[in-house]
Amino acid sequence: MKSESLLNMLSLKLLFLSSKERAILSRNEGEVSLGFIFLEKFSGFVLLIVGIILSYYTHISRWDLGEAAAFFFMVVGILLVFLGLLLIIAKIE
């Protein structure tokens, strides 16, 4: 039972590693795994698409949503677009 909880804590810790810590755990210290790079770019692309779709449909139906809800969802959509672009452009070191 105790070993399972320790294993769960270690797996949770691995989820929240910084890019520098991931590089240390990869094969060579200066080398970042291609899987991490692909996952970062893919998740950035997904966030970009979701943000664009959310902003577009909020803009189309802003009169039905009301002012406050339309503003909220537009801000969330724009933030998702910027976050997606940041993940796509950023370089893991």
Give the model's pLDDT for residue 21: 61
Instruction: Tell which wins on pLDDT, 17 or 86.
Output: 86
Give the model's pLDDT for residue 26: 57
Q: What is the pLDDT of residues 2-51, one digit of tens each?
A: 555 545 555 555 555 566 666 555 555 556 678 888 888 999 999 999 99
Instruction: Tell which wins on pLDDT, 1 or 44.
Output: 44
CB atoms within 10 A of CB 35: 10
Instruction: Tell which wins on pLDDT, 31 or 73.
Output: 73
Clarify whether residues 14 and 52 are in a common domain.
no
Clarify whether residues 42 and 19 are in a common domain.
no
DSSP the chain: -HHHHHHHHHHHHHHT--HHHHHHHSSSTTPPPHHHHHHHHHHHHHHHHHHHHHHHHHHHTHHHH-HHHHHHHHHHHHHHHHHHHHHHH----
Expressed as residue numbers, the domain containing 39 is: 33-93
Whole-model pTM: value is 0.64
Q: Tally the domains of the chain.
A: 2
Clarify whether residues 52 and 91 are in a common domain.
yes
Clarify whether residues 54 and 77 are in a common domain.
yes
